[in-house]
């Protein structure tokens, strides 16, 4: 996904051919930039019409104080680099080769502050959808990406919204904040942020199943207990009805024997 975002900003990050033959370069403050054309033996690096560096006999002479300890020339590759970039380093540079390969290549260098880190918060949440906002503390190009596809974007913005529907809760969401020099992204777990429980339906069905089994068990237990009670009552009634006859018979026999 990081690669795809970089491809999206490729035109802004490094345009190899621009109007007037000037190549566009983008750098980030505090980092470094290397000009892609080389001076192998003799030549110059110019800022506008000022010569900031001169190469001769494999030695580099820096002529502008603001580039001291920041402008470097690589003897092996012949490339100029600026380290610890600052906003004031933005401008038009020219690499002017005077020996072997004679050419002049110009660059429009723009130094940007680091891209801001985006923050995502829910704005409005219902049972079926969720409105999320991605915000930054300074203007940047903002993008909402779902499953590696850009869903919404806005250049030079402080915030950007997206609506997430419950049926899409299993998709991956991320917000990116970018400038031509870099981009920063934040992944979003919508099941947590929006309160969408991805096993909610399964849990409900499971609870309904357990409740049904529990209800059936209660009914069976009650039926068995009621049947046992009825049988016991009938047995006691039957026993009670037989007991008086037995006593009368015993009394009759006893009186008969006494009379004899």
Taking Cα atoms as reference points, which of 164, 169, 165, 173 lies closest to residue 199?
169
Question: 126 and 189 share a domain?
Answer: yes
| Same domain assignment for residues 108 and 10 | yes
For 180, the domain range is 119-193
Question: Are 89 and 177 contained in the same domain?
Answer: no
pLDDT at residue 186, rounded to an integer: 95
**Based on the domain organization, do 52 and 149 belong to the same domain?**
no
Give 201's strand partners: none
Task: Assign 55 a pLDDT band (cuts: 50, 70, 90).
Answer: very high
User: Residues 145, 46: one domain?
Assistant: no
Cβ pair 90, 110 in contact under 8 A: yes
Share of the chain above pLDDT 70, in %: 70
d(CA 77, CA 240): 118
Number of domains the chain is built from = 3
Confidence of residue 8 (pLDDT cuts 50, 70, 90): very low
Residue range 59-73: mean pLDDT, rounded: 92
DSSP state letter for 171: S
Do 93 and 161 have their domain in common?
no
What pLDDT is attached to residue 235? 63
User: Which pLDDT does position 243 carry in this prediction?
Assistant: 53
pLDDT > 90 fraction of the chain, expressed in percent and rounded: 53
Is 130 in the same domain as 47? Answer: no
Give buried/exposed letters for 89-107 (b at 16+ CB in 10 A, else e). Answer: bbeebbbbbbeeeeeebbb
**Token pair 């969401």 in the structure block, residue:** 173
pLDDT band at 236, cuts 50/70/90?
Answer: low
Same domain, 104 and 23: yes
Closest CA to 155 of 178, 183, 188: 178
pLDDT tens track for 12-41: 334 434 445 889 999 999 999 999 999 988
């Amino acid at each position: 996904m990081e690669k795809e975002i970089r491809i999206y900003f490729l035109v802004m990050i490094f345009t190899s051919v621009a109007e007037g033959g000037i190549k566009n370069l983008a750098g980030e403050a505090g980092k470094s930039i290397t000009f892609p054309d080389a001076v192998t033996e003799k030549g110059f690096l110019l800022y506008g019409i000022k010569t900031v560096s001169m190469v001769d006999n494999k030695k580099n002479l820096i002529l502008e104080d603001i580039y001291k300890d920041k402008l470097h020339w690589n003897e092996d590759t012949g490339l100029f680099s600026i380290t610890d970039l600052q906003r004031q380093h933005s401008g038009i540079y020219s690499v002017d080769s005077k020996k072997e390969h004679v050419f002049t290549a110009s660059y429009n260098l723009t130094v940007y502050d680091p891209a801001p880190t985006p923050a995502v918060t829910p704005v409005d949440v219902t049972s079926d959808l969720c409105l999320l906002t991605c915000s930054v503390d300074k203007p940047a190009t903002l993008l909402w990406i779902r499953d590696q596809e850009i869903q919404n974007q806005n250049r030079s913005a402080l915030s950007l919204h997206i609506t997430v529907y419950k049926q899409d809760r299993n998709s991956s969401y991320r917000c990116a904040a970018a400038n031509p020099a870099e981009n920063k992204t934040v992944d979003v777990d919508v099941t947590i942020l929006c309160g969408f429980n991805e096993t909610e339906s399964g849990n409900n069905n499971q609870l309904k199943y357990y409740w049904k089994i529990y209800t059936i068990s209660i009914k069976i237990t009650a039926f068995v207990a009621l049947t046992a009670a009825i049988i016991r009552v009938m047995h006691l009634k039957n026993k009670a009805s037989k007991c008086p006859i037995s006593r009368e018979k015993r009394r009759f026999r006893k009186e008969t024997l006494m009379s004899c």
